[in-house]
Amino acid sequence: MTQVKRNPAVVIIGAGMTGILMAIKLRQAGITDIVVLEKKGSVGGTWRENTYPGAACDVPAHMYTYSFEPNPNWSRFFAHGPEIKQYFEHVADKYEVKRDIRFNEAVTDAHYANGKWTVKTSQQQTYIADFIVCATGILHHPQFPDIPGLADFKGTTFHTAQWNHDVDISASTRVGVIGTGSTAAQAIPELINTGAKVSVFQRTPQWLMHLPDFTFSKTSRKLMARFPIITKIHRNTGKFFLEHFFTKAVTGHFIQKHVLNFLCKANLRLSIQDQTLREKLRPHYQVGCKRVIINTTFYKAIQKPNAELITEAIERITATGIITKDGKHHDLDVLVLSTGFNAFNFMRPMNLIGRNNLHIDKAWAHKIKAYRSMLLSDYPNFFLMLGPNTPIGNFSVIAMSEVQTDYVIKLIDKWREHQFDEFEAKQQAIDDFNAYVKEGLKGTSWVGGCQSWYLDADGDPILWPYTWQRWVDEMKQPQMEHLNTRSF
């Protein structure tokens, strides 16, 4: 007698790009018992959180879309934050995802026992699930600098991920920005363009690549809406460029690596006229060691008379500004912290407790590791989306999530067909996968002599060191021999 296909209860944590995608794909697979728990009041994830001036995606807009939901209406080649947020709102509405979302409900605890996950939330609600899909994202916990006196500053202080739009920044405002990473490179020109005196405190310079942004005319957008093939061509062109140039350049392919190296160094040489300033902006590590910044505005802005680049280390922060190691006091009215995120938090601070009451902090006490970036030992029927070693150099995170989502559906389908009741990665499979990744990292730019958010406590990058296509091929089918399965 044929068994009826099971309909699992699935809890998705997070209603950002990956959470929306997962809810859509689960429902298309015939799974109807879905709850999405979202800590904030709207969808959008990082594009809801990051509202700083100039926020934009450095992946071409037509590639930064779900493959099944193209958008012919992007206004720019590199879409800006509000438009991206609007796109995710549109997708969530079109596919009726919001009916499954519990907004303003953060997960506090998730405990596995007796074949089920018990999930508790900030609203004192409890959910029982067969599977948890953790779609909390990579960069969502702002990191604040450990600088003496930070709390003493009497002006206005905020992190770029918590931008204070109530602050009036004008020509009379003295603004200090700590940090020069991807976010800062977008926000600093906007601050300088207000006429404010902007002091940029740089610890480490970045390599920038000049790749012009441009607007799509109304006519071209109408054509793309009428002829979807045009939109598809835009998407495939962006994918080809990122896959065969950027990704291969940072993973050690000789020609692409040297072309990227030439383009970034030429950009610095041609963009910065003053030799002293140019040397301050010149990184002393190989191109690609940190994420290459796609930007056409920072170099122009930092040369304006109301901008100052400060490379002296910060001694401490005072009530009225910043004192650098050379003893100089920089008077400030506003202090902007562009100091990144705690990239290794993943699902934390949630209390994730697996088999035998194993807390995730204990499981990851020595090393953050996962099989195929997604599966953990002692955490059955649990998926970590965009986990360690997922990010692929300057590629679309949406494309990564789509590959992982297909993998998730295939494993859940085996459960639905009664092949097993629980599964988890074997510890040996986790160790072997991480050894495989570490071996590949030896020839990449990420071990090129810099400190970056890519590196874990051991100095190992949490990135995928091989090609995009290799990753796609290896994720096509779950290798069941690498998993422990159990039937009740």
Where would I find the H helices in 242-314? 247-250, 254-271, 275-280, 298-302
pLDDT band of residue 8 (cuts 50, 70, 90) is: very high
pLDDT digits (tens, 9 = 90+) for 240-274: 888 888 888 888 888 888 999 999 999 999 999 99
CB 393 within 8 A of CB 348: no
Among 31-35, 433-437, 440-444, which stretch is predicted with the lowest mean pLDDT? 440-444
**Which has the higher per-residue pLDDT, 287 or 23?**
23
| 453-481 CB burial, b ≥16 within 10 A, e <16 | bbbeeeebbbbbbbbbeebeebbeebeee
pLDDT band of residue 412 (cuts 50, 70, 90) is: very high
Per-residue confidence (pLDDT) for residue 102, from 0 to 100: 98
CA neighbor of 79 nearest in space, from 95, 68, 94, 90: 90
| 381 has a pLDDT exceeding 90 | yes
| 441 has a pLDDT exceeding 90 | no
Per-residue confidence (pLDDT) for residue 139, from 0 to 100: 73
d(CA 333, CA 178): 14
The SS3 of residue 350 is: coil
d(CA 42, CA 92): 10
CB 309 within 8 A of CB 468: no
Query: Quick one: average pLDDT of 67-89?
Result: 96
pLDDT band of residue 297 (cuts 50, 70, 90) is: very high
The SS3 of residue 316 is: strand
pTM confidence score? 0.94
Domains of the chain: 9-141+342-486 (3.50.50.60), 150-215+252-337 (3.50.50.60)
Region of residue 269 (left: phi > 0; alpha: psi -120 to 50; beta: else):
alpha
| 1 has a pLDDT exceeding 60 | no
| Average pLDDT of every residue of the chain | 93
Per-residue confidence (pLDDT) for residue 455, from 0 to 100: 79
**Which has the higher per-residue pLDDT, 352 or 444?**
352
CB 399 within 8 A of CB 460: no
Per-residue confidence (pLDDT) for residue 443, from 0 to 100: 81
Per-residue confidence (pLDDT) for residue 291, from 0 to 100: 85
pLDDT digits (tens, 9 = 90+) for 182-215: 999 999 999 999 999 999 999 999 999 999 899 9
pLDDT band of residue 343 (cuts 50, 70, 90) is: confident
Per-residue confidence (pLDDT) for residue 344, from 0 to 100: 81
CA neighbor of 158 nearest in space, from 56, 53, 82, 57: 53
Query: Quick one: average pLDDT of 39-60?
Result: 94
Per-residue confidence (pLDDT) for residue 393, from 0 to 100: 67
| 464 has a pLDDT exceeding 80 | yes
Per-residue confidence (pLDDT) for residue 395, from 0 to 100: 84
**Which has the higher per-residue pLDDT, 445 or 193?**
193
Q: Give the gyration radius of the chain's Cα atoms.
A: 23
CA neighbor of 120 nearest in space, from 18, 11, 227, 271: 11
| 3 has a pLDDT exceeding 90 | no
Per-residue confidence (pLDDT) for residue 450, from 0 to 100: 78
CB atoms within 10 A of CB 37: 27
Query: Quick one: average pLDDT of 9-34?
Result: 97
Phi, psi torsion values for 155, nearest 5 degrees:
-80, -160
CA neighbor of 202 nearest in space, from 183, 227, 182, 177: 177
Per-residue confidence (pLDDT) for residue 2, from 0 to 100: 64
| 26 has a pLDDT exceeding 80 | yes
d(CA 235, CA 239): 6
178, β-bridge pairs = 201, 337
Per-residue confidence (pLDDT) for residue 259, from 0 to 100: 93
Counts of helices then strands in the chain (DSSP H, E): 14, 21
pLDDT digits (tens, 9 = 90+) for 98-134: 999 999 999 999 999 989 999 999 999 999 999 999 9
pLDDT digits (tens, 9 = 90+) for 417-426: 999 999 999 9
Place of tokens 């045009």: 230
Please give the share of the chain, as a percent, with pLDDT higher than 70: 99
